[in-house]
Every structure is written in structure tokens, then in C-alpha cells.
Amino acid sequence: MQPRLRFAPSPTGQVHIGNIRTAIFNWLAARHMGGKFILRIEDTDLERSTKEAIDTLLECMNWLGLDYDEEVLYQTTQAQHHLDAAKKLIDDGNAYHPGPVSEHSPVYFRIPYCCDDYPFVRTVGPATIALASGSDVVVSGAGLTFTTLSPKGKPVENQACLAGFKDLAVLDADDKPLYELTDDNACALLSGGEPVTVSGAAKLKFIRREVFYDDMVKGHLSKPLDSMRDFIIVRSDGSPVFHLANVCDDITQNITLIVRGDDHVENTYRHLFMFRTLGAEPPSYAHLPMIVNAQGKPYSKRDGDAFVGDFRDKGVLPEALFNYLTLLGWSSGDNREKMTREELVEAFDLARVQHSPAQFDAVKMANLNGQYIAALDPAVFRERAWEFAAAYPWRESVDRAAFDRVANLMQSRTKLMTDLAAWTYFFAVPVDYDPKGVKKFLTPDQLRAALAKAAEKFDSIDENAKAVEDALRAVENGDGLSQFALNQPVRVAVCGVTVGASIYETVECIGVRECARRIRGALAATA
Ligand code: GLU
């Protein structure tokens, strides 16, 4: 069967990089396997899933080149279908109203008591739970409630599904049975029989069963049924809960592989039962590791740029963001990091997704973006830079040809388009000078004297980088300075900063005569 994967976001307005990485991994896995990549918009939170939020999501996907197959499915259009499924579950005894039945009673999904033949359930063996002394145990169709003691000796109220306690015996302190759950009385409870309250219990003895599955990323996962509860699937206002809507839609869309964040691992244990009771084969699962900050905590807005829009606004290229996000939890296995979309599709394999959290690294992201910028056609870069610089007031008075010369010089040094903010010195005399630079390069008398001579030379030499270089070497020679000793003093005097592109080309770009004026001005300003 052709693999069918989906991205099922709940739009909230901003698109977090964790969400879009889920989309990217689904997209890559689908394209790699020759399967379908389907978009389902889980828009049931009417307050947050506004048209704007949905448009933002679609724009982000489009910007990143995440094209999808088939029509988008909007979850809200499926509400009736979800409620029909809830009714089927009730009719089959797999869901129930926990309280008195009325128009407004919520519906709970029941973890099926008779599940021994489910392929994802297995028997672990006999188990015992010690209770807080004198605990009441209430046994009903909705499960068990009982009290245990925490390691610190505090009473803890527990609630668990009936399916967790196959062949249950509630024992007193002398191991004498106070109550036994046979298949017959389980049947009676499940069909609405009165709850039983057992007092003075000391222990629960039962056959432990667990639900398990092989996650394509996390490996073999399991959870004892006695740690699970029945759960709500339709609210008292009649609206379907996430679990019901999500599973129903996956069935409707014939999804064969679910790739999503590992915050959904716990849900998957429940969903396996829902697929089965709704008559569908559960899909395969791959749960992606969380994206974390340097402290190992979930990466959020507080840690820096966290939304796709933040990166786009900074002028991060979509190809670079796409590539960087593939490296958050996945690796090619052969040390390749900068990879084209085609190379990624070719190499992408869910088996290479790491289990442990993936740390977001803004520096690495910027460096990768720098590699993409450096590889752009210079004419494209000039155009993008010109558009991007429109946000800076200095661009207004800048001549396009001069800007293009600067763009050509700076392309290979640009990591983020926001680096353009520092280009002002090309177009205007610096307003201030880096204090450390001044101390080191504009203060020693010998350097100041040499700078004055360099300015004099700049008054008459040819307007090109080679002539600038020759002039500086000549002054250094004449003044007994070591080779290159004037490079940094000239940079600080002309640009106000201590880092930048080749100083000879920078001077050429700004204009040699203008630089002569700037050097004199800097010497006067720092005298
Ligand atoms: N709407 C859910 C979310 O964004 C979907 C989870 C899933 O992929 O199943 O977390």
C-alpha cells in the first residue's frame, strides 16, 4: 500500500519551529517513500484557529515549499462524522456516559476489558498493589478508585480503567479476598451495574496487561493498563474532543504512518484502542524528539526566535531554514549538513531520527544561512539585499550602484540579512567609534602620524583596492611599522568598527577621497 502521511496542525496564529519541523519530516518521509503528504487542519479551537491563523500557516508552508497532495481537510467539517463514531462506540459498549444520561452528558471512551486478542495488548503477569491502610476500593464500569501511599507516606487517590485489573482480587491485611472481579461481574458492571465499594482493603491482586507498540523513532514502548484511565471523547457541550476527532480523521484519510511530536506518545496508547474499536487498523508511529534550549527545556519564544515568521523577517532564506530544521533531530549519517531539498528527500530515513531532544542552536542556524547566502547568484543577493535594506532609514539616500558594490563585497560575509544594519558606515561617516578600537589603533602617536600620511596619499592615488594596499604598505615601510600595521587603524578611522571585509576593498567601495576625509575627521575627533 502506498504510504499516506499527514501534517495535522492546530493553527494558533504563529507557527512554531517545532510544528513546522513536524511538517518537514512528514513531507520528507512521504517524498522519500513515494507516498502522499496530506494536510489536515485541526481547527476545532474556534477561538484560536481563526482565518488569519490558518492563512499564516498556509503561507509558512508555501514559503518553505511544503506542497501537499489532495484537498486540505478542515477538521470542523467532520464534526458529525466524529459524533457518529462516538455513537457507534456507545452502541458497541466501548464508550459511555459516566453520569446520568441527558442531552448534555459527556461521553467517555472505555479501554476495553476484553482486549486479550488485540495485537497491541499483552499479559505481563500477576501483580500486586499495596493500598493505604483501610482504603476503600470502588469498582465500577468506569474503573477502580483506591488509595495508595506515596514514597513519602502521603495518601494518593488513584483512578484507573477496569481493563487494567483483569482477575482482580481485593484482599484484606490477611490476604483474605474481600471482592473478586470475575468475567461475569465485570460484564454486569460494564453493562451499567451498580458500583461496588469494598472497605478495609489492603491489597489489589490482579493480572497486569499492557499496551505496546514499536515506534519508528523511540523503539519499543509500553504502558500498563492499570496506569490508564477511560477518557472523555465528547464534551458536555456536544463537541468532540481531540482524541476522537484526531483518530476519526486519520481513519477517514487512511493514514498509514503518523509522524508527530513526542508530546503525543501518551495519546498514542489510547488511540491504538480507538482505532481498533472503530474497526480500523492502527497506523505506524514515529514520535519526534522535542526541540530544546541550551538548558534542555522546551524551546520557546523566551529563548529567541521561535516562529517561522521571526526567521523570515530576519531574512533567513527558506532553503536554509528548511535545511537547518532537518538537522534538528535527524542526521544524514555521513556528516553532510548543507543539503539540497533533493538530497534530503533522497537521504531522509525515519530510522535516523534521534531519540533524545534536539537542541536549537541559533549560531549554527545563522552559519548555515550564511552558506546559502554566499551561494546565491550575486544579482539575486543584490536584489534581496536592496529590498531588505528598505527597512533601514539610511537606504533612502543611497545610490543603487553604490549599494550594489557594497552588496558584492559583503555577500560572502552576510549570515543573516539583519547584518545589513551594520552597512551604514559604507554610506555615512560613522557617528561613533568602537572605544577599544580607538584605544588600540587611534591613540598611539606613531599610528596617528602614519594615518595622517595615509590620508595624504589617499588624496591622490588611483581609486582602487590595489592602490590602497600599495599606499598603506608604503607608509608602513617609511614609518618603520610592521606590514599590515595600518589595516586596523584605517578600518577604525573609516568605518568606526574593528571587523569587516578586506580593508582595501572597503576603502575602494567607500571612495578613496572620502576615506581620506574620514581619517582626518577621526583623528580630529579622537585627538
Ligand atoms: N493538532 C495536533 C497537534 O498539533 C495534532 C497531533 C497529531 O499530529 O496527531 O498537536
Say what the pLDDT of residue 170 is: 97
Residue nearest to ligand 1 atom 6, measured at CA? 8
pLDDT, mean of residues 491-512 = 97
Binding site membership of 210 for ligand 1 (Cβ less than 6 Å): no
Any atom of ligand 1 within 6 Å of the Cβ of 260: yes
**pLDDT digits 0-9 by tens, 223-245:** 999 999 999 999 999 999 999 99
CA of 264 to the centre of ligand 1 (A): 8
The whole-number average pLDDT for the span 495-509 is 97
Ligand 1 contact, 10 CB (< 6 A): yes
Rounded distance from Cα 283 to ligand 1 centre (Å): 15
Write down the residue that cell numbers 591622490 correspond to. Answer: 460
DSSP secondary-structure letter at 438?
I
Walk me through the domains of the chain, giving residue ranges and CATH numbers: 4-80+238-292 (3.40.50.620), 121-229 (no CATH), 301-374 (1.10.1160.10), 376-414 (no CATH), 429-525 (1.10.10.350)
Centroid of ligand 1 to alpha carbon of 342 (angstroms): 27
Q: Which of 108, 178, 176, 173 is nearest to 139 (CA)?
A: 178
**Over the stretch 414-464, which tens digit does the pLDDT of each residue have?**
999 999 999 999 999 999 999 999 999 999 999 999 999 999 999 999 999
CA of 108 relative to ligand 1 center, distance in Å: 20
Does ligand 1 lie within 6 Å of residue 418's CB atom? no
Q: What is the pLDDT of residue 420?
A: 96
User: What whole-number distance in Å separates Cα of residue 266 and Cα of residue 211?
Assistant: 11
- Report residue 349's pLDDT band, with 50, 70 and 90 as the boundaries: very high
Q: What is the mean pLDDT of residues 293-301?
A: 95
Q: Report how far residue 92's alpha carbon sits from residue 98's, in angstroms, rounded to the nearest whole number.
A: 16
* Ligand 1 centroid distance, CA of 260 (Å): 7
Q: Is the pLDDT of residue 348 over 80?
A: yes
42 Cα nearest atom in ligand 1:
1
53-67 confidence digits (pLDDT tens): 999 999 999 999 999
The percent of residues above 90 in pLDDT, for the chain, comes to 95
Please give the span between the terminal C-alpha atoms of the chain, in angstroms, as a whole number: 79
Does the beta carbon of 56 sit less than 6 angstroms from any atom of ligand 1?
Answer: no
State if residue 42 touches ligand 1 by the CB under 6 angstroms criterion. yes
pLDDT at 44: 93
- Map grid coordinates 458500583 to a residue: 195
Distance 258 CA to ligand 1 centre (A): 10
Question: Which residues neighbour 243 within 8 Å (Cβ) at sequence distance 6 or greater?
Answer: 109, 231, 233, 267, 270, 271, 274
Determine which of 80-84, 180-184, 341-345, 473-477 has the lowest per-residue pLDDT on average: 180-184
pLDDT tens sequence across 87-115: 999 999 999 998 777 778 899 999 999 99
**Farthest CA pair distance, the chain:** 108
Mean pLDDT of the residues in the chain: 96
Provide the 3-class DSSP secondary structure of residue 342: helix
**Rounded to the nearest whole angstrom, what is the distance from the C-alpha of residue 261 to the centroid of ligand 1?**
8
Confidence of residue 192 (pLDDT cuts 50, 70, 90): confident
Beta bridge partners of 95: 109
Residue-wise pLDDT for 255-287, tens only, equals 999 999 999 999 999 999 999 999 999 999 999
- In the predicted model, what is the mean pLDDT of residues 332-351? 96
What's the Cα-to-Cα distance from 341 to each of 161, 318, 333, 337, 436, rounded to whole Å?
47, 11, 16, 12, 44
